[in-house]
A and B are shown apart, each in its own frame.
Chain A
């Protein structure tokens, strides 16, 4: 079955830039989406269609794509950004939705 691979954890100091990667063979063909999830809460969409930002999401969140890897970048990280982040896409047929394993972002 199709998989998306993320690093388990990323740590940054406040004000620095955090980059979280997600790799998958179908990513050149399928859009990627990114979700932020804080403990006890439902996920929140922070990036859609690789690089678009939903209304209400701070500009410090951005997304990019290159080949089989997509990247979520958080510029000027704030303490409130500490959360789990998940990438999501679809397999090459578009019929199965897949989430990455998640990355825990720690703000030091």
Chain B
């Protein structure tokens, strides 16, 4: 059974940093692109970033370029999102999803709240 479990969310002040993790199991992690998708409270889905199987290609939505970094550790079956210079508008549930451009499997999400 495919499982994606996010962790690392919480309350952070504007300008602060947070690192999200996603633990994957039930499939060969190193064979798949992986992505982060977020959803602000009461709003729609927004793709954040994705990463190729070997980490050699990474893409980001314009609003997070230069602030967020996606990475992965295939030995640990884990996906990460380092978030720096956080803003109020980054407040959202962050989902880890398997795939680069379509998402059959999603985690349950982790809430990031940016507020003073």
Chain A hits for B32, CB < 8 A: none
**Is residue A63 within 8 Å, beta carbon to beta carbon, of the partner chain?**
no
Chain B hits for A33, CB < 8 A: 102-103
Q: Among A1, A94, A102, which residue has its beta carbon within 8 angstroms of that of B45?
A: A102
Chain A hits for B45, CB < 8 A: 35, 37, 43, 86, 88, 99, 102
**Is residue B95 within 8 Å, beta carbon to beta carbon, of the partner chain?**
yes
CA distance A49 to B44 in the complex (A): 21
Output the nearest chain B residue to A96 by Cβ-Cβ distance: B59
CA distance A35 to B103 in the complex (A): 9
Q: How large is the interface on A (under 10, 10 to 19, 20 to 34, 35 or more residues)?
A: 20 to 34
Known A43-B106, A94-B101, A97-B35; judge A102-B59 contact (CB<8 A).
no
Q: Among A1, A37, A49, A102, which residue has its beta carbon within 8 angstroms of that of B62?
A: A1
Chain B hits for A97, CB < 8 A: 35, 47, 50, 59, 100-101
Residue from the set B44, B47, B61, B62 with the largest chain A CB neighbour count within 10 Å: B44
Chain A hits for B84, CB < 8 A: none
- A-B complex: 6 closest residue pairs judged by Cβ atoms: A97-B47, A42-B106, A102-B44, A99-B45, A33-B102, A95-B59
